[in-house]
Structures are given as structure tokens and as C-alpha cells.
Structure 1
Amino acid sequence: MTLSNEKNQLMKNLINDHGIIASLAIDQRGALKKMIAKYKPQGATEQDLIDYKRLVSQTLTAYSSSILLDPEYGLPAAKARHPNAGLLLAYEKTGYDASIKGRLPDLLSLWSVKRLKAAGADAIKFLLYYDIDEEKQINEQKHAFIERLGAECDDYNMPFYLELVSYDANISDSDSLEYAKVKPHKVNDMMKEFSKPGYGVDVLKVEVPVNMKYVEGFTDGDMAYSKQAAASHFKAQSQSTHLPFIFLSAGVNASLFQQTLYFAKASGSTFNGVLCGRATWANGVEQFVLGGEQAAITWLQTQGRENIDALNAVLAQTATPIKLD
């Protein structure tokens, strides 16, 4: 990669000694509130979010190359992270307005790239929901939005991580067999689009191109892809971009995510790491709500660390190192 000296150094802050992005993600806001509320009938408070993010950061970042947080509830966690762990900060508002067609993106109104950099960020992350087949008027708004965001990051020499989550405007359930059949096209073609230089993206954070629950050998039910077909989609994904790209865990359990990475490698994928969230720390939420901070710390120090250690071992065998100047 050819980057400015400052951006190159910031990118190095986010990778491990082997050139792999082994990052921990806990920038969830709405999703984390729901996870906490499952065990707390009166609902999650802002302090609940702040405290759990802090516990995850102070306990697990010693074993991660970096952590992704949000500036709304995550700044205390950013300060609590291990000194060797880099910091990504999210720039998007959580969720989207379902009453408006197109899942249009929006920025946190009190933040800017300049302010996120001043808060200690080594990179900016932005989440975009995107349907490659949606009407042109909607997608052109998204294209212009990301162009502006890329330019803002470039002005401040900040690495720009773009998280892409695919959907189909005509299929309500993205976990369905119907959507699984079109997912490879949705994921790989949107990667092609946002790899164009005009967007200023440095790293793509993306889904795997198939729903593994419908892959031959991974399911006892409906099948959307043979192993051979699924492998071809992983290989095509790598060919769809010249940018470094990393996988998100999409909420699947740790075991399935690790199996997916092995399958990706065997298929010829050249992915460069992960930004892994719920697969690592989700089961600690119950301990936090029902048992308090010490119970959560105990879980994070044992099962949480085991999840990260196991994932790091898999990454060492499967991920392709990023080559920086």
C-alpha cells in the first residue's frame, strides 16, 4: 500500500506483529442495549453500556491488535485499553431509520474526523448498509456520502475503514435461504464498487460472501451452495478488490466463525484479518448483568480470553499479512 507517512504509521498501530488485523469490536450501541435488556427487565442504562465496554477493553485488548469503539459510550473503554492496542472509532449513528426508504447513512452529529482524531483514534470506521441492486437515486446518495467521508479522512491523514453490510430491498429476512442465494452477488459486487479510488477507502470490513448455515457440510437443512460453489464465492471476493479487507463476525458463535476462516483460506481467500465482536464477548453480558462486574471480569479473563486466543491461532494460519511501507 502507498500511504502518507502519518497514515502509514496509524495503520501500523492497528495490526499485530505479523501484519494481520486481529481487532476486537465493541462499538455496538442499540444491539448491546438489547443484549443487556434480555437479562434486565427495566432496560439498559447508558452507564451499563459504558461499564461493559470498559471491562471488555481493559480485559481483552492485551490479546488484540486494536479495538473498535464508539465515541458515545466507548471513550472510557478507549482509555482503559492495553497500551499496545490501536484504536478505531465509529463515526456513524447506530442503526437506521426504517421509516425512510433506502437505509440511508448518517453521521454522529457532535463528532467529526478532526474530533475523533483528537480523541485518540488511529482510524475512522463507518458502517454503510448497501444493496447493489437498489434504485440508482438511493445508491447515488450513498456514493456521494462516502466520497465526502473519504475526503474528510484524507484531509486529516486518517485511515478510513468502511464497513459494508449487504441487504436486498425486496427480501425482509437477510438470514433466509432466499437471501443466501443472492448474497454472493450482493457482497462481492458492492466490494468492487467501494474499492474505486474516488471513495478514499483504505480497508474494507465485510461479510463473508455466503451464509455458512446453508453451505454443504455445515447444514442438515436447506442448502444454498455446494462446498465447491461456496469456495468459488470466497475466491471471487478476493478478486473483487485491491484493498485490504477483513471479516466481521456478524453475530455468529465463535466456533462457526473460526470454521468459516479455515474454509475461506482453503478456498483461496486473501482476507487480512478480522474485526470480531459478539463472537468474542457476547456471552459475558449475562454474567455482567446478573453477577456484576467481578463475574463479568472472571468470564472475560477465562472464556473471553479463550475465544480470542483460539481466534488468533486461526488467524495465524489463515489470514494474509498486510504489506505496509
Structure 2
Amino acid sequence: MTKLDYMRTLTNSKGCIGALAIDQRGALKKMIAAAKGEAATDQEIIRFKELVSEELTPHASAILLDPEYGIPAAQKRDETAGLLLAYEKTGYDATVPGRLPDILDDWSVKRLKEAGAEACKFLLYYDVDEADAINEQKRIFMERVGSECLAEDLPFFLELVSYDAAGLDTNSSEYAKVKPHKVIEMMKEFSESRYNVDVLKVEVPVNMKRVVGFSNEEAVYTKEEAALFFKEQAEATSLPFVFLSAGVSAELFLETLKFAKDSGSTFNGVLCGRATWADGVAPFVRDGEEAARVWLRETGTAKIKELNEVLNETATPLELEFIH
């Protein structure tokens, strides 16, 4: 199969990406631990991923999993759902400046492909305003990953997450003022052909909680200003791009997608997780597998169906012939 063939397995009937992400490792451990009051076990992590895959992939174009805990869940996905596997180690070494990326020790893109991956996903933390000595390391690293994907003819999904190297809280109003610059400029950088990226997985360019009318938090942008940033983001890349949910509520995420469409954004879908399944962790821990399955089958499925309806109205179909 070629990259183009693989991309077709990851899109829905309208040519958009409506993918479910549950490649969380450290974050999911923390969620389970918070619900049970003690450390999560590996088996709990594996089993929850399996349940999410079984119950929700019939309604998703694909699922994103990690090879450390997610291979059993990959085998339980619906036959209509494609598979993306994450290549990066979870988290970053906070004792070293720069949030430098690293790959999983026991995996290569070839091995991800052999495990059934129809795309490779890599998460990169990037601050366009950080020292060039650090950002150059990250750029070189992404060249390597992109070259591996090109050699295996496997789609490369690059997930870009912005931050502030100087330490601004990403939820603060101060960070909201600089977020559009950071998100848009890093999209421009990694849209360059040297990285061999096929799809960008990105944040929306503003903090929607800081847009007038979207929450009670201190506003930083008017709706008109936010709309211009969404349009600028879409014009910053020639690559397909999908939005991540960044842990916001399902309700806010849906409103964000509608706002993006109305603003002229040409995003090609979503690759999101916690907005869909996060509230299923508590019943899983508190009441067991069957309770979690009921939650996923009822509430979780309703959430993803509602997301699909909004995607049908807002997302732009991919022009697959432009995939490398």
C-alpha cells in the first residue's frame, strides 16, 4: 500500500478525518490514579483503552493509540476504523531545557507499520521564540522521523503543541495574547517539504475561553479578532491539518469547530480524545468494566456522534492526491 492508500483508510466517507485519540500514557495514568486514589496499574490502562476502542471506533474514521499499552486495543477496533500509532515517548524531561523530543526505544517506523499502523504520529512541543540552538535540534529530529516515514511510505502526522519557554502558564491571559503567533509560526515551519509531513495535528490558534462570549474568563480577543486568527492559521499551511481538543469540554470543542468554519478555516477534521472519553474513567475505576462500557456505549457514543454531525457541517475534505 502507498501513503495515499493508507490515508484513505483514515478518512470517513466524506474524505475528512474524524479520528479518536487515546494514545495518552502519563495523562491517563494520572486520570485513573485521581479517580481511585492510588497509582494506576498497567492492566487498567490497557483495559480502558480496549473498552474505548471496542465501543467508540464504530463511529470514528480511525483511532490513535500508543504501542506501549495500545496494541491490544488496536486489535479490538472496528474493521472500518484506521490505525495511527504514536512514535514519541510520553512527556518530556523537565530537568533539561527545551522539552526535547525522543522516540520509543523499542520501536521504529518500520516496526509500527509491521504492528498494523496506517500512519505514524509524533508529538512535538515547540516554542518558535525559544533559543535557536534548541529549536534546531527539534527541526533535525523531525527531519529524521519524516525520512523514516517516507522510506516506509507511511503517512506522517505531526502533532504540534505550543508552549512558552520563559514559563508563561498556557491557560493565562498573558499566554493567550502570544498563542496565535506561536501556533501559526510553528505551522509554517513544519509545513516545509524537508520534513515530509503529511498531516498537521494542531491546536486552534486562540484560547477559546478568552474569546468574548465563550466563557466567564477574562477576554483577550473579540470574536472578530479570533476569527482573523483562524483564517490566518488556515492560510499558513498548504498541508492538511486537523484539530486536537487539548482537553477542553466536548461542548466547547463543538462550538470551536463551528466558529472555525464560520471564520473561514479549512481544517480537515479532528484527532481528539479526552473531549469524548475522559468522563468514562471515573465509572471504570469506581464501578468496573461493565459500568465503563455502559457509559461509553451511551454517553461516549452520543458525544462522538454529535462530533461527527458537526464535522460533516464544518470540516473540509482532504485533497488526497496532494499526499506525498
Which bin holds the TM-score, normalised by the shorter protein?
over 0.9
**Structure 2 counterpart of 1:177, one-letter code:** S
Q: Which amino acid aligns with 1:201?
A: V
What corresponds to 1:168 in structure 2?
164
Q: 1:323 aligns to what?
A: 319
Residues 233-287 of structure 1: CA deviation (Å, up to 9, x unaligned): 0000000000000000000010000000000000000000000100000000001
Shift, 1:171, TM fit: 2.9
Shift of 1:172: 3.5
Corresponding residue to 2:151 among 137, 145, 155: 155
1:39 maps to 35
TM-superposed CA distance for 1:40, in Å, is 1.4
Alignment match, 2:279: 283
Does 2:229 match 1:233?
Answer: yes
Kept in 2: contact 1:281–1:300 (CA 8 A): yes
Equivalent residue letter for 2:208? M
After TM superposition, the runs of 4+ consecutive aligned structure 1 residues lying more than 2 A away are none
Residue 43 of structure 1, CA deviation? 1.1
The letter of the residue matching 1:169 is A
Q: Aligned letter for 1:63?
A: H
AA matched with 2:9: N
Give how far 1:303 is off: 0.2
Shift of 1:110: 0.2
Could you tell me which of 202, 208, 212 is aligned with 1:212?
208
Letter in 2 for 1:166: S
Q: How many residues in Structure 1 have an aligned counterpart in Structure 2? A: 321
Q: 1:195: which partner in 2? A: 191
Q: Which amino acid aligns with 2:14?
A: H
Measure, in 1, the Cα distance between the counterparts of 2:60 and 2:215.
31
Deviations 1:108-144 (A, max 9, x none): 0000000000000000000000000101100000000
Q: 1:101 aligns with which of 59, 82, 97?
A: 97
Matches of 2:166 and 2:133, distance apart in 1: 16
Alignment-derived partner of residue 292 in structure 1: 288
1:133 matched to which residue of 2?
129
The alignment yields a C-alpha RMSD, in angstroms, of 0.7
> Quick one: which amino acid aligns to residue 90 of structure 2?
T
- Which amino acid in structure 2 is aligned with residue 133 of structure 1? D
TM-score, normalised to structure 2, is: 0.98
Are 1:53 and 2:49 an aligned pair?
A: yes
Deviation at 1:221, TM superposition (A): 3.2
- Quick check: 1:171–1:179 contact (8 Å CA) kept in 2? no
Unaligned runs of 5+ in 1: none
The 8 Å contact of residues 249 and 276 in structure 1, kept in 2 or not, is answered as yes
Q: Deviations over 1:272-316 (max 9, x none)?
A: 000010000000000100010000000000000000000000000
Please list every run of 5 or more consecutive structure 2 residues that lacks an aligned counterpart in the other structure. Answer: none
Distance (Å, rounded) in 1 between the aligned partners of 2:206 and 2:230: 8
The one-character-per-residue Cα deviations of 1:185-204 (angstroms, maximum 9, x if unpaired) are: 00000000000000000000
Could you tell me which residue of structure 2 aligns to residue 62 of structure 1? 58
